[in-house]
């Protein structure tokens, strides 16, 4: 999910958060003129960096509806005192139904900031990071679903291997899965340090500058939170509610996400052209549904100020069609 900016958004004395590609992602929504009084979606509120900037650019009739699964993010969002703002405690994958329930059929822009936020990573009690010891939870929404520790206790060796290989792109997935099953036969795996140590002992060679547990932690987190399933459903939902001329602005942080976003937008921007020998008028030729606007990465300056921004990619596309 999220974030970098020239401004630090604080969640208290312990955690500070920089919103990644803050200005670039919001600029891409093209909040100018009459569009400033439109309705917009922030699919991942996080700690509110993008939402606050969108609100600062909205007109008096504008509206912003934000989503987040994290109860801590919801608590932060509830402090936003602005009648134009609504927060929904759910995944952005549910936006079609959530909008329909609020009488909204189309929106003028959607921003999705994928992944996890710095406060989530830095809070040891959430279990996202191997750098601090804490309970092995990894749920973005701690009010529902199975924790990472609970899943590791019941998953088969084949399931473990598949998740670690597919979602973590880890070449030692087989060895790691085997080590997990062997360890849990002796005692439960309940903390992040225990889990990281098991992975480290199973990984034969290490990538320079990267902890051997990085890919496995990513894989388990993605699986536990159904991140790729939510992304697939969310992209479809976002496209379905975009008005003609509205834009989708999506920030991803790892290759699996970015590949899905790239392929989805490309599929809407391309059309199968019929055989040129067929007698079809130009006006009757199939037209693309979206126009690709641009792809952006953080500047060297931003990465220097916030190393977590280095893998971010922003992709922007605009829905085409007849406004009538």
DSSP string, 122-157: H-GGG---SSS--BS---SSTTSS--HHHHHHH--H
Bridging pattern class, strands 313-319 and 242-252: antiparallel
Query: How buried is 297 (Cβ within 10 angstroms: 0-12 exposed, 13-18 middle, 19+ buried)?
Result: middle
**144-224, CATH topology level:** DNA polymerase; domain 1 (1.10.150)
CATH for 8-119+227-319? 3.40.50.150
Question: Is the entire prediction scored with pTM above 0.75?
Answer: yes
The whole-number pLDDT of residue 130 equals 87
Bridging pattern class, strands 290-296 and 313-319: antiparallel
8-119+227-319 and 144-224: same fold? no
Distance in angstroms (rounded) separating the CA atoms of residues 44 and 73: 9
The whole-number pLDDT of residue 313 equals 96
The whole-number pLDDT of residue 257 equals 95
How many CA atoms, within 13 angstroms, populate the side-chain half-sphere of residue 123? 20
The whole-number pLDDT of residue 7 equals 30
The whole-number pLDDT of residue 324 equals 36
133 is in an annotated binding site: no
Per-residue pLDDT of the chain (324 residues), as tens digits, is: 443 332 323 333 333 457 889 999 999 999 999 999 999 999 999 999 999 999 999 999 999 999 999 999 999 999 999 999 999 999 999 999 999 999 999 999 999 999 787 788 888 889 889 888 999 999 999 999 999 999 999 999 999 999 999 999 999 999 999 999 999 999 999 999 999 999 999 998 877 878 999 999 999 999 999 999 999 999 999 999 999 999 999 999 999 999 999 999 999 998 766 556 666 655 556 688 999 999 999 999 999 988 888 899 999 999 997 543
* Beta carbons within 8 Å of 237's beta carbon, 6+ residues apart: 92, 93, 94, 95, 96
Distance in angstroms (rounded) separating the CA atoms of residues 15 and 121: 10
Q: Which of 140, 204, 123, 122 is nearest to 171 (CA)?
A: 204
159 is in an annotated binding site: no
For residue 238, what are the CA distances in angstroms to 36, 202, 227, 293? 19, 41, 16, 16
50 is in an annotated binding site: yes
134 is in an annotated binding site: no
What are the boundaries of each domain within the chain? Answer: 8-119+227-319, 144-224
Give residue 321's region: left, alpha or beta (phi > 0; psi -120 to 50): left
The whole-number pLDDT of residue 282 equals 56
How many CA atoms, within 13 angstroms, populate the side-chain half-sphere of residue 153? 12
Length of the chain: 324
Check: CB of residue 217 under 8 Å from CB of residue 76.
no
- The residue behind tokens 């309705």 is 39
49 is in an annotated binding site: yes
For residue 99, what are the CA distances in angstroms to 61, 64, 87, 140, 236? 17, 11, 12, 22, 14
């Amino acid at each position: 999910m999220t974030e970098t900016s020239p401004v630090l958004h604080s969640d208290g004395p312990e955690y500070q958060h920089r919103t990644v590609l803050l200005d670039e992602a919001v600029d891409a929504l093209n909040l100018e003129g009459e569009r400033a009084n439109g309705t917009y979606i922030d699919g991942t509120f996080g700690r509110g960096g993008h939402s606050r900037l969108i609100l600062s650019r909205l007109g008096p009739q504008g509206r912003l509806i934000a989503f987040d699964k994290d109860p801590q993010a919801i608590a932060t969002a509830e402090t936003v005192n602005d009648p134009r703002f609504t927060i929904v405690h759910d995944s952005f994958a549910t936006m079609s139904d959530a909008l329909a329930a609020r009488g909204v059929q189309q929106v003028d822009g959607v921003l999705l900031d994928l992944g996890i936020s710095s406060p989530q990573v830095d809070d040891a009690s959430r279990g996202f990071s191997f750098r601090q010891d804490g309970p092995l939870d990894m749920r973005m929404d701690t009010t529902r679903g199975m924790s990472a520790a609970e899943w590791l206790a019941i998953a088969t060796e084949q399931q473990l291997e598949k998740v670690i290989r597919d979602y973590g792109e880890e070449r030692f997935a087989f060895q790691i899965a085997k080590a997990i099953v062997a360890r849990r036969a002796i005692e439960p795996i309940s903390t992040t340090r225990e889990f990281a140590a098991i992975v480290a002992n199973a990984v034969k060679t290490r990538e320079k500058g990267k902890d051997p547990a990085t890919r496995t932690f990513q894989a388990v987190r993605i699986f536990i939170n159904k991140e790729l399933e939510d992304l697939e459903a969310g992209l479809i939902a976002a496209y379905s509610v975009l008005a003609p001329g509205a834009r989708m602005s999506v920030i991803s942080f790892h290759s699996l996400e970015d590949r899905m976003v790239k392929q989805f937008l490309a599929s809407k921007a391309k059309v199968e052209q019929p055989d040129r020998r067929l007698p079809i008028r130009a006006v009757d030729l199939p037209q693309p549904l979206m126009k690709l606007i641009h792809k952006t990465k953080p500047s060297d300056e931003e990465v220097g100020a916030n190393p977590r921004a280095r893998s971010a990619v922003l992709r922007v596309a605009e829905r085409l069609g007849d406004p009538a």
